[in-house]
Structures are given as structure tokens and as C-alpha cells.
Structure 1
């Protein structure tokens, strides 16, 4: 058995077969009932039902998500205290509703009420799901040789996330995640997706799991279902109903009740009263990004009766919101761009599948490649190319790389080992095209022609944002479905036909990046063979005249550059980055080494050599104009594909030599610096502003230029760098960014004053800010700054764990204002440093009130070098003696404390002896009596005091 592994969006329905597979041949998929094998919905004439969007419908801005009505883009819905939308329908009398339900129950042919019959149906559903989900496909499985999921499944890297969608290209998201510190992630096992984390007591009803294409969302769902069906995990759930969106799309025009819908998918449940309090039911909706239903969560239509018919989109929205079956569990998967189609109010938990982490990458290749020496060589080669190794976070790319490198490194083949994405994907295309044809099949279409047609399909659907196609899409591009079904590995491994509900056929490429590669190849070949710029064909009703253009071979060198420039412009104007990888591939095809790869596969009228420097210079001009970071970062990848690394090499030299703060960089060089820092192999951990600040550039200017970098780091050290108000405003934008990765920030030694802290606090109070440690020593902060910090703590109290305001002139009034923020029950500050802040007994009284109002979190308190005196210590001791106070470390160095202060502390410790571990009273006039009093406590086993400094 070929123990390989697939993680690809769309694998949710393992009734995926190679197009050429004989449907009579047994496979490890479920058998469908006659009812579920009916015909797909038919539309009369040209009429399209309401809510149905043609896959060919043009949009002003492509995206990978379904179109939403203007109404669905309005504000989130308002829910009542029961979690339901307001019911604006005429109210039905309760007796009438009960009569209707009883009538429905009497008319059922099967009435299952006893435990044995219920168990029988439950077991039948489990058997069906085992048959359906026990197999895993990589690319497409070899005919008659499926791979069992349980034999090769490796737990994926799943973390808690946020529900907001993301508009940057998925490869860019992977590049960012690849360097982020794992320590900041909260890991969740696949089977624990509905289990609250420690400290989370509230049950979780709905989970949204997001992740880029091919990262492993669908396989995680498959593993969850299989483990449940086999009795291994989550046995508190009675029934699981997987309902993939790509199948629900096929019945979007029908009106059904929820019971009708389930009876279509799961005939075993017909007549079973599964929606009472005795049953815990889970609905799984896989592939939200593939949804073509009009999911309007702001509709006034409220559905609460499982027997009441409605459109499929109304059924789903009411089920997700909780109007329908509020006790049912809901699991939704989606690519990031579509994640916000479901309002955040409906999703108490968001998780993110990150694919393979570093150890899992190597584990994959060692599992897949039996020759461990060869596996090590493959891993070493991938590590030598940063862009390739980053992509290995996507399991599907691991499969592509393993397919190519296993063949190239194990055989005496000529040619350069792939080092760029274009080379890797082109080798993969060649390998799949060379797969043996079926026996007795006489090929009637050339390889190049079939690739060109599939490339046309890939390009047309890419610009529309579609990943799932239907038969009419294939016909539009001249792809004969019958011929394709018996064609070579190009169709069976790269392009797949899936059988869903009603035997409706759905087509897709194995992964988005393969679609982008073929689309770019189509764009390149259209110019080479027909002198056509594919971007001129977009939105044209008649394309025939473009294919009859007279070819101006003498001007091809110039025109190819024009094609590249047009592609660069289109990519930069794309809001969701959906052409980023397409552009990389398109530029890569212009290199002679990649054209040589394609010889013999595609018919070229002539070699397309051109002046790549002209294209590279055009890209550098675009970088110089400094568009958004997400855009110019991709442009640097494009320069890599063209083999132009001059900008990056120069900056890398400055970084290595440590001379960045001694040279004046141009705008292009600053962009190159951002690219180098963000694509470095080093983990994004600590950003040190001093490395960049010098006589040529000031701290505030550096911050403004390097904001994209600072946003990605976990810790930023900006102490004593000359940060002013302008820099504070820049930092606030970092803290407000979504997602915000910064967890530690040191701005000590900068003259921020009240105005700077106010600007900074505007970011601190943002809900996206997850800052945990903040150092503001020697920043000339007064009570005005304390007021701003207190306001921020009240607005966003749950994240900050450590705050250091030492050596500022806060005074008692500043500490009083700060204490107002610390009293918030949600405030979880653990360490507070207020050394030399001008505190007296009045400030101590305010802090004591904090220790009484919110005593359970504070662990360390440093009040050294303040004139507290005995009265201040007595006031604090009143808070310390509260049994709920869990303070572990307390510093009173040089605070004018005498014996009376020691007596107050000793009394507090006798009242609450179990927590304080460290006490510092150095440089005080304790006298021998005070020292003896505390020393006696130090050596008493009834107390936990471990360190006493006197």
C-alpha cells in the first residue's frame, strides 16, 4: 500500500475518483441510496432561481467567496437573550404547532422510540461514515489501491485564531506564519475542537476552523468523523451529519425542511426522533469558501421548526445562529478570505489549521520516502531554498515536492534540481503528463493542446475567483469531459472530477497553486503562439477576433515585456492578492531554463527570449513607489523568479555587517530591507530598534518605515532610542493591527510625556491588542499619562500581565488613577513596578483597594524608593492579609520603614501565610526587633516565605 497523505481542501467527500476510474470497481466509499442518486436540479430555459449565482458571473473584484447581497453586508444581527434573531413573523399558536408536529409524527412509516432501535440507526450511520471517510487520497489514489487514513495521519498544528477574513494571498500568510514563535500559540488537538480550554467553563456550540487551501482542514474533519464513528473519541455525540457546501450548492434552489434535507443525505435517520433533548447532534459544513448560497445572517426570516420548509440558505443560517436546534453543535471550515461570512457573534471559538510545523515537515518526507537517505537529501535540498521550504507548511506542496524530487534525485536525470516555485511546478506538470495512458486508448489530443485548454480554464476561473467548476465551464474552454476522463495523469492527478449529491459532477484542481501555475502557463503560451495578451481577453464577449491577430514577430521582445507589465499592474490592483502567485509563475516562464523544460511538451512557434532586465527594472520602479507592504513583498519574490537579487544582496550585506544604522537607504532599499527581515530563516522573536537608528535616520522615521516588520515580531526593544510622539502614534497602529502579534514592548528611556503615552494608549485599548508586557521606565510620565493607561486597561483589560512605570513622576494622584483601571475584575495584571514614582501613604491606600477589589491575579509588586513609611506599609498590609490575595513577591527597599511596618507585615502574613515567597526590605531602619520578627516568619514552616532581604 502506498502510504501517502493528502491534505487538500475538497477532500471532505472521499467519493473522489480519478476521472478515468471504472465506476463499477469497488472502492472504499459509501454506497448511496437510490434517493440520494437522483438527478441534479434543473433550471428551465435561461431562468436562474433566486440566490443562484452562475459560476461564470463576472465580478468587479474577484474573490474566492460567494457573492453576498448588499443586505448581507450590513451590520451584524442583533440577538435576543436566547441567542435568536428577532421573530417578525406572525406568531403561530402553540397548540397549532404541536398539532402539526404530532401529525407529522403519526404519518411517519418508521417510529423509533426505544433505545435499541435508536442504537441500531446510530450504528448504521457510523458504519456508513466509516466506509466513506476511512480512505485518504493524495492527488488521486491509484485505482484499487486506496490509502487508509489511520495508517498515515499525523496530528496537524491547530491553534486558536480570529474569525476575521484576510485579504492577502495565502502563500503570503504561510510565509508570515512560518517564522512566528510557536510559544504564543494555544494548541488544540483535532478531536478536542469542542472542548473548552483550561479556564474556559462555557460550553462551545459553534467552531469555525480556517486555513489556506491544502493546509489540512478537510482532513482534520475527516479524522474527527472517523475516530467518532470507530468509537475512539467524542462518544458523547450521538450523530454527526457532514454536509459539505459544494454538495449543498447543487440543491440551493430547493425548499426543504431540515428533516427533508437530512433524509436526502442520510436515509438511515428517516423517522428517527433525533431532535429531542436526548440526542447530541453535530453538523459539519465543510468549505465555506466554496459556498454559492446566499447566506444572509441579517434576514428577518426566523425558523425554529425542523419540519418547516424553507430555502437551503435559510435553513443553514437559522441553524448556525441557533434559532433552529439551539442545542446542536456546528463546525464550519473555511479559507481565511471567507471566514467573516459568518458573523463573529455566532462563533464562540475560531481555530486555525497551520499545516505542518518544522518537525512535521521532515516527518512527512520520511514517512513517504522509504529510502531514508533519499528522504534526507530531499529535506536538505528544500531547506536550501527558503521559498520552497516555507511552502512545505502546506501538506499538498510536500506531496508535489516529494513527487518531483524523489524522481530527480533517485535517477540519473540531467537538468537542474528545482530551486524556484516555477521550476518545481513545471517539473511536476511534466511528470504527471508522462504518466502512461490507459491500455488500448488511442490519444486523439496532444499533450500541449490539453494543457493549453486546462490552462485557459484555470485562468478564466482564477480571475473570477472560482476554485470549483462545473461541466459548462469545461465546455466553454474546449475541454471534452469524455476525452478528459481517459486522458493521462495530467487530468487524473492534477484535475479531478468529484461525485456529490445526485451524482452531480464537480471539477477542481488539486490545489490552488496548480491552478495558478497552469493559468500562468496559458498566459505565456497565448503570447508566444498567438501574440495575445490574455488580460485583453477579460470581459470580452467575443474572443474569436483576438485569435486572428496578425503576428508581429519582430516586436515580440517588447510585447512580452508589455505582457509582464500589464500582469504586474493587475496584480498590484488586486485587493485580495489572488494574482500574486500567478505573476511569479508568469515571470518565471520567461527564463530560458524554464522554457527548456517545456520543450517537447508544448509547441512554440519560436523561443521567447527577452530582455528580462526590462521587466526587472519595471518591478523595481513599482517597488520604489512603495505600495502597500503586502504588494511589494510579492514583487521581491518576482525578482527572485527572474534571477535578479541585486537589491536583496546589497541589503543582506548591510544586515550581516551590522552597518544599517550608518548608511542612508533609498526607498527601494527600505522595501528590500523589509523583505529580507520578513523572509529571514530566523524566528520572528525580538526587534531591536537600536540596530537601525543612527546619524542618518531617527527612531520615529525607522518605526514608520519598518511598521510591517514590527507588526510581525513578538517582542520590540525600543529603549533609549529617542522615540517621540510620532513614534508613539506609529506604535499605536502596530497595536491596533489585526492580527496583532506583539506581546512585549520596551519603550523605556524615551521622553514620551503625557502626549506620547496618550497616543500609545489609543492602541493599547484596542481589542486586537494582545500586549502582555510593557516597560515604560524613565519616560517622563505624570498623572496625565496614568489616566490614559487606566482608560486603556478598562477598555482592554484581559491581556496585559506586566507593567513597569518605575522612575516616573506619577505621584499619588497618578497611582490613584492607575488603580481605577487595575480594579476591573477582568484585569489580569500579574506584575506591577512603581519604583521611585513619588508615592506616599495615599498611593498605598489606592493600591490596597486594588488588592481587595481584584486580589487573585497580582503576583509581584515593586514599590522601592518611595517614601511610604510605616503608614503606607500598614495600608498595604491590610490588602495583603486578604485570604484571596496571592501576592508572591513584594519589594519595599529604601521606603523609610521601621519596626512598626515590620509588625504590620508580620500580622498580614499570619492572616494569609500561603502565598508570599519573597520580601525585600533592604535600606530601611527596621532595628533588630523588626528584623527578628520577620526572620522568625522566614524560618517557620507554616509560612511560604523563602527569600527575605533585610
Structure 2
């Protein structure tokens, strides 16, 4: 077989087939190996192996000294040899990663990565696993503003951002299946091999987990492991301090090794043999080659397999942005008119266009629509996922015929066997398979090439290592589609409910007793659908969500027509879809968790029933939602409509939904899945109480938390409500930056809770408005204690009309002079400060640590004496004040002259003066 034919599509551009490196990633969540299906390991609060750090540091120093001495003995000839080896490795990696394949070798052409690569949106994130289907993650996060987080370029993955001075040795990059993790790795390696970037790295060792799985039972040293993949380095001492090496472990979610980070087995010698899992664990922890850099990629569900204490940076690949989707189709399709038609069609179906955030789906769509929208083709253009993937399956089958494979394997038999494999491995949560998995489904491994022709080289052999083979689908959405087709055909042809296959003893008593008649067939296929719905709703991780959409979609006549000629169906597939529709609506009415019923609405779309959504969309468009009493099903539909709207989720306004029919707290509880997806929630003057605050606290704690601004002003919250907010602010998932609590009847008791939240680690709050509350000096003192803490990063504080006197001013002056002081804006308008309070604050302005830029004293009883104190402060070095508001005070002409002279003097920094 030609070398390039052994490779498969990668997860950056599904059409793209990477030379030797690309891998597919499924989109279900349950992808951990069997050993990790139980309880997750527990880690010490003191960090990663704290009891070994002292010994490790000593060992590292000794090793470093020995390496330095050894390096002094390296001859010129040895250095030349090392340089030659580096060049050989670069050439090898360049050859391996420079090209991508579009389709199968005869279907498409070899494409240079640099010609088609589009810089993906990569941000810093957290290593938490996510317990929902990855397609669901894409659907709910697709409209998040791209400016929320700091973008990181692929080649800068090991470089600190501005303001970050900590060294980065281990990076964990996560992202859903097909989003671009592997091709990002490929691009990094290619740029290094071509001498374009990261030239301070001497050697890069890409070691995908799916290949390491093939030798998981071996006992060898780290050098032995590397020599298997890179024979060129046998003469090099990679433990030498002169080498800066990078290990790339791609696909942590595919790992079948038991990475036990609680193990006491410690390796420090690269020549010492151990099991592969022990080798990798010691390498990641830093016992082996402590100076080596490590890059790990993973899908979200497996991201926490490596303890967070061992990871220095977590990044997230978020796929294509809206402009990049269109850019992809322009690059992929040479006929720009056709490319525009494809983009327009995808935009007309929200469910399809959202999926285009995943590059793999862009490839599938481009492959299908390029054919169907050509002048020579006629037929219905796919508008649902089932239609799109079924067209793709037919297209791949046609390609198989063009390759003139042996006629001994019929299309129907091949699809059923692959479908069985897909279903069995989907239930187990596996995304890669081995020879024994294929044999269980009646697939002859020697005929794998025949099957590969069906679905764009589904199978490939890994590097030829130990003659072992690893098999996979291009993407798990394809696996889910085939699994659903298998489930549908098993019932139609043999009256077998595939869910009974999971429990074989139940199968024997049921599958042979089914009656094959049309009337019972209609009832039974509805039963199959109902059982599939129930199984999906009871799934903890949502791994059957997409499978269910496909299964229901296959029951429609339009999809049955597509399959005619491809498959032989002995049963009658027609049925009354209304029974399935009503069953789904019944489940929606019971209002399960949002993650569950949102998928049910997608199922209704696949069945062609949009009645609920259309009715709610009418209310939303007309602005009458708050005037109608909605049923539980309609509330669920409202959530679905809002979450799948084309509008950016920037500002949620509670007033739009609160009316005589329903109160604010109830709306918040019902629309919580929506609220937490918005960047800003405006809940002011809506009658929110403690019950609503509890719901909002849940939103602040959600993972991920998208809320950045929250306005709850004008609600009678009291200190109890503020305490609830504060508990949310302290959560590490909370990223809230601005909080408005004006006119909320907060007292000093609430201030104590807020002070605790301000010093939580991390605290992202930058702006806090507590104006028109009864805080008093005692409340301000409590807040000041929090503001002085180094963990507090608050920059703007509004305390207008809060009963503050000179006692509170003294506390705030100490905040202004604390080190560090982050406060930049302070509003004390309409308080009883008088000249004594202003003098205290003026003393703070003169302090070198004070960085205050904006100060409001409107209506504070200030006279000429207060102006004199401010005059002295503003002339101090340094004084950073840019804006000063003294309106509604008794300054007199002399006081005005003093301050006006400063504003008009270029030697001082005051720019805006309101008198």
C-alpha cells in the first residue's frame, strides 16, 4: 500500500487527511478507558507529589551538575553529530506533517497544510471535564462573543501572556471532537520542522496515545520507547542539559493506560525500565527529564485525567468562528459562486450552521453539497443532520465502487457490520478499536481496506509499530450515524431491538417472539423509538444524544428513499411518526434537565415537527411572551428558541419575560439555562428575592460560566440575598466582572459577605456598585478590609448615598495607600463626608501606592478647606487623578480658583473637573 494511503482524516479539517498523524475524535462524552469509568482519583491538596518534591529538587540539582560536567566533555564531533540528528528528525517530521489528504487517495488530492490551514480560536481555559454531549457544547456556546477571552496562537502555546511570569512546562489543550486539536499540533510541528518558529526547541517527539496503546503491556525504558519511534536519536544523550525537548501526547481521551498519579513508583533514569503507564506518569510529573516540555491534547470529558496541579497552562480549541466558516468554504471550493450557495444553504438551517464550528462537519457538508448543488444533480438538499450524513454515506459508497474493490462484499453487509461495530463501541464509550473488536462484528481484518473505501478510509495502520493496527471512524458523528442506521435496520429486517443486544440474556427471550406484520410493526418501531428516548434521557453523559437524532430521522420517508438501492430492507419501515412525536412532547412536558429536553427539540426537528418552536417564536418576535401563560412544554420550547437564536447572547433582560402571569423568581428558575449563557443579565427593578438570588448563584457557579455583568439593582434583596451572591462569586467557575446592587437594602452584614468574596481566589470582580444602600461606616470598614487584600482586584467602587462619614473615609484612605492598590475609580457622592473626610482621602491621594484616577464628591458638604486639601494632593508626586467631581458643594470662589488652576496647568494630570 502506498504510504499516504495509510492515513486518515484529522480533526481540524475533516476532509483533510494527515500524513501519518491525523486521528479522529468522537463527539460523545463517555470516552474514558474502562479503568477510569469508576470514581476519579483523589489528589493531595498540597499539590502533585509534595512528599517527593524536596528529594526531587535535590536530585535535579545533582543531575544538572552531572549533566553540565558531561556536556563539557562533548567533543566538536559529537556536537556536529547532534546537529545532524536534529536535522534528520526535522526532515522526517516535515515529510510526515507537511501534507493533508482530502478524501480517499482516489477521491481527493494531497494538499499542503500551509495552503489550507486557518488559524483556530484558542483560549486559556480550565482542565475540568464536561459532562454533556460535545455537540450540545457546540450548540450552546456557538454565539459566545469571541472577545471574551484572550486568544492564543498555536505557536505561542508555551509562551506566557503579558503579565504572566510563571514558566510553562506542561500544557493541556482540550476541545471537542473534530475541532482542530490534532491539526494544531501538526501545524506547530511543521512550523518547527521548517525552521519558522520555536527554534529554541531542539527535538520534538510526537507520541499519540492511540499508538502508545499498542505497547501498553511492554516493559521498557524511556529511551527504548523513543527509539521505537525515532531510531535516529540512538546516539544522542537526550538527558543532557543541552537539549530542550518537547513531548506531544495527542489524544488523552484515547488513552487505555492506567495513569495512576497516586503511584509511589518513582523513575529518574531514562534507561530504567518500567511499564509504559509508569513511564508516562513520571515524565508528566517531572521525575523523568524534569526540564522537558510536554503538550497533551484531550477532549473535555477526559481533561481531568491529569491532575490540575501538574498542568501549568490549560488551553481550549474552539474551532471555526463565524468568518472562518465562510473562509473555509472559499478555500475548499474553487467555484466561489458554488461556495456562496453552500454557505447560504447552511445558514438557512440553524442546526446545520452551528455544527460548522466543527471543521470536520464543514468537510462533510462541503463534500455533500458540492455534489448536490452542481448543475448535473437533482434532488432534495439536506436540511437535517440525518439527511446530510446519509448523503455522505451514499457518496462514500459510490467512491468504493469507483475504486473497484472486490465484489465479494455487498454494500448492505458491509454497512451492517460497520454499524454493529459502531453501535457496540458507542455503548462502551470507545472511539478507537482493535482487531478483536472487528472480529466480534464479523469483519475480516484482512479486508479492512474494502471497508475503508466505504467511509473515507475509516481504518488505518499506526506507523507499522509491531504490525499492530488501530481502527477508527473519521469522526464519532459518523460512528453515531452508522450505529443509528444499524439500530433502525436491525429492527426493520429482523425485529431486533438493539438495546436488547446490550443484555444478551434478554435478547434470547425477546427477539424471536416478535410478530412481523404491518400493524404490529408500526407499534413496535414506536416502541423502539420510545425505548431509545428513555435510554438517552437516563444517560448521565448524553453520549446517545446524536444517536437518537439519527435513529428518529431514519424513520422518515425522505431518508428511506435515500437508502433505497443501497440497502435491502425486508421489513416495512413505514410508521406513524405522530406516536413518537407525542411521546417526545410528553417527556418535554415533564421538564427534565435542560441538557435532556433541548436534545428532544432537535429530535422533533429531525422528525419534521416544529409546531412548539414556531408558536413560541411568534410570541418572542411579537414581544408578547410576558403576556401569555406558558405551559411547561412551552417554557422548554422558549429555552430552545432562545438558545438556538441567531442573535448574539450579549444582554438578557428579565423585564421581557416578567408579567402578571409569572413573577421574576419563577422566570429566573425556568430560564436559568438561558441566563447563564448570556454575557450580561439585566434583572433590575423586577421584584427578584432570595429565591431568585439562589438561582443566579447556580448560574455563577456553572461550568462554564459566561456571565460577566449582573445588574440586580432595585430589588429587595437585603443581606441574605447578597450572601447568596457572594457564595457564587467565591466559586472558581465564576468569572463575573461587574456587579450592580443599587437600592437593594443592603447593610453591613451584606458587606461582610462581599468582602469575603472579593478576596476569594480567584476573584474576577472589577466593578461593584452599592450605591443607595444603608452600609454606614461599619459596612465600609468591612469592605475596606477586603479591598486591601492582595487577592482583591476591584478597580471601581460606587458608594453613593451610603451614609458614609469621615470614619469610612479613613478606612478607604487606607485602601488607597495599600500595596498593591488596584482601585482606579471611587464614587462617594451624597455622603456626609464634609471637609474632614475629604482631607483624609486627600492624604491617600498623595501616597505613592495610590493609583486612583476618578473621584466623585458630589453633594458631600465640601467647602474651601476641603478644596485646599485636594489642591495639595493633586500637586503631589505622584498623583494619578484624571477626573474630579465636586458638584453640589459649597466651594466658594476661592475654592474653585484653587482647583481650576490645577486643571489648567499642564504640569498636573487633572483633565476633567466638575464644579
**1:507-543 CA distances to partner (integer Å, 9 max, x unpaired)?**
1110110000000000000111111111111132797
- 1:380 equivalenced with 2:344 (yes/no): yes
- Between the aligned partners of 1:317 and 1:70, the Cα distance in structure 2 is 19
Alignment TM-score, normalising by the size of structure 2: 0.94
> 1:850: how far off?
0.5
3-state SS in 2 of match to 1:184? coil
Q: In the alignment, which of 301, 306, 319 is matched to residue 342 of structure 1?
A: 306
Which segment is superposed worse, 68-77 or 522-531? 68-77
| Contact 1:437 1:487 (8 Å CA) reproduced | no
Number of the residue aligned with 1:305: 269
1:83-124 deviations in Å (ceiling 9; x for gaps): 645359999x999x99xx99xx99xxx999743222111111
2:394 to 430, 440, 455: 430
For 1:246 and 1:209, the matched residues in 2 are separated by 17
Aligned mate of 1:786, from 751, 768, 773: 751
For residues 452-491 of structure 1, the aligned pairs below 5 Å read 452-486=416-450, 489-491=453-455
Q: Does the CA-based 8 Å contact 1:356-1:394 persist in structure 2? A: yes
| Counterpart selection for 2:11 from 7, 13, 18 | 7
Partner in structure 1 of residue 150 of structure 2: 186
Hey, what's the Cα distance between the residues in 1 that align with 2:649 and 2:406?
A: 55
How big is each residue's C-alpha offset from its partner over 1:132-166, in whole Å with a ceiling of 9 and x where there is no partner?
Answer: 11111344444894221112111111111110111
CA distance in 2, matches of 1:719, 1:378: 43
Aligned-partner Cα distance in 1 for 2:607–2:793? 51
Inter-CA distance 496–243: structure 2 relative to 1 (3 Å threshold): closer
Aligned to 1:405: 369
Structure-2 residue corresponding to 1:697: 662
- More displaced, 248-257 or 112-121? 112-121
* Structural mapping, 1:538-617, within 5 Å: 538-540=502-504, 551-554=515-518, 555-617=520-582
Quick check: 1:434–1:488 contact (8 Å CA) kept in 2?
no
The verdict on how the C-alpha distance between 1:422 and 1:921 changes in structure 2, with shifts beyond 3 A counting, is same
Deviation at residue 761 of structure 1 after TM alignment: 1.2
Do structure 1's residue 687 and structure 2's residue 652 form an aligned pair? Answer: yes
Aligned residue among 630, 642, 659 for 1:677: 642
Q: Distance in 1 between matches of 2:403 and 2:413?
A: 21
Aligned to 1:58: none
Aligned position for 1:169: 133
Task: Name the counterpart of 1:196.
Answer: 160
Larger mean Cα displacement after TM superposition, 725-734 or 215-224: 725-734
How far does residue 914 in structure 1 lie from its aligned partner after superposition? 5.3
Residue range with higher mean Cα deviation, 116-125 or 475-484: 475-484
* Structure-2 change in CA distance of 1:728 and 1:492 (3 Å): closer
- Structure 2 residue matching 1:332: 3-state secondary structure: strand
- Whether the 8 Å contact between 1:86 and 1:302 is mirrored in structure 2 is no
Give the equivalent residue in structure 2 for 1:808: 773
Cα offset for 1:946? 1.1
Contact 2:9–2:22 (CA under 8 A) maintained in structure 1: no
The answer to whether structure 1 residue 254 and structure 2 residue 218 are counterparts is yes
In 2, the alpha carbon distance for the partners of 1:757 and 1:439 equals 68
List alignment gaps of at least 5 residues for structure 2: none
- Please say if 1:74 is aligned against 2:38: no
Q: 1:680-702 CA distances to partner (integer Å, 9 max, x unpaired)?
A: 11111111111111111111111
Q: Give 1:229 deviation, angstroms.
A: 1.1
- Aligned-pair distance for 1:826? 2.1
**For the structure 1 residues 155 and 383, does the alpha-carbon distance in structure 2 shift closer, same or farther, using more than 3 Å as the test?**
same
Between the aligned partners of 1:62 and 1:218, the Cα distance in structure 2 is: 18
Question: Number of matched residues?
Answer: 897
**Structure 1 residues without counterparts, runs of 5 or longer:** 19-60
Rounded to whole Å, the distance in 1 between the matches of 2:614 and 2:177 is 32
Match of 1:931 among 880, 890, 896: 896
Q: Matches of 1:300 and 1:249 in 2, distance apart?
A: 22
8 A Cα contact 2:754 2:783, kept in partner: yes
- 1:231 matched to 2:195? The reply is yes
Partner SS state of residue 948, structure 1 = strand
Flag the 1:74–1:474 CA change in 2: closer, same or farther, 3 A. closer
1:74-153 residue pairs with structure 2 within 5 A?
Answer: 74-77=41-44, 84-87=49-52, 114-142=78-106, 145-153=109-117
Question: How many angstroms apart in 2 are the aligned matches of 1:141 and 1:157?
Answer: 30
How far apart are the structure 2 equivalents of 1:138 and 1:811? Answer: 69
Instruction: Return the offset for 1:798.
Output: 3.3
Q: Tell me, yes or no, if structure 1 residue 160 matches structure 2 residue 127.
A: no
Contact 1:139–1:494 at 8 Å: present in 2 too?
A: no
Name 1:907's counterpart in structure 2: 872
Deviations 1:442-463 (A, max 9, x none): 4112211111111111111111
1:164-222 deviation digits (Å, cap 9, x = unpaired): 11110010011112111112121110000011111101111111101111111000000
Query: Do the aligned residues in 2 keep the contact of 1:913 with 1:943 (CA within 8 Å)?
Result: no
Q: Contact 1:193/1:207 (CA < 8 Å) preserved in 2?
A: yes
Of 789-798 and 740-749, the range deviating more from structure 2: 789-798
CA separation of 1:402 and 1:420: change in aligned 2, threshold 3 A: same
Aligned mates of 2:438, 2:392 — CA distance in 1: 23
2:817 aligns to what SS in structure 1? helix
Q: Residue 721 of structure 2 corresponds to which residue in structure 1?
A: 756
1:368 and 2:332 aligned: yes
The answer as to whether partners of 1:216 and 1:355 remain within 8 angstroms in 2 is yes
| Partner Cα distance (2:38, 2:430) in 1 | 23
Q: Is the 8 A contact 2:710 2:739 kept in 1?
A: yes
Q: Aligned Cα RMSD in Å?
A: 2.8
**How many Å apart are 1:793 and its aligned residue?**
1.1
> How far, CA to CA, are the matches of 2:275 and 2:845 in structure 1?
62
Separation in 2 of the partners of 1:273 and 1:259? Answer: 9
Give the conservation status (yes or no) of the 8 Å contact 2:554–2:560. Answer: yes
Say if 2:17 and 2:100, in contact at 8 Å, map to a contact too. no
- Stretch moving more, 289-298 or 598-607: 598-607
- Alignment partners' CA distance in 2, 1:116 and 1:560: 71
Relative to 1, partners in 2 of residues 1:354 and 1:138: Cα closer, same or farther, differing over 3 Å? farther
Contact 2:124 2:315 (8 Å CA) reproduced: yes
| Counterpart Cα distance in 2 of 1:712 and 1:89 | 45
2:619 aligns with 654
Equivalents in 1 of 2:836, 2:569: separation in Å?
A: 91
Aligned mates of 1:542, 1:895 — CA distance in 2:
81
Name the CA distance, whole Å, in 2 between partners of 1:86 and 1:318.
15
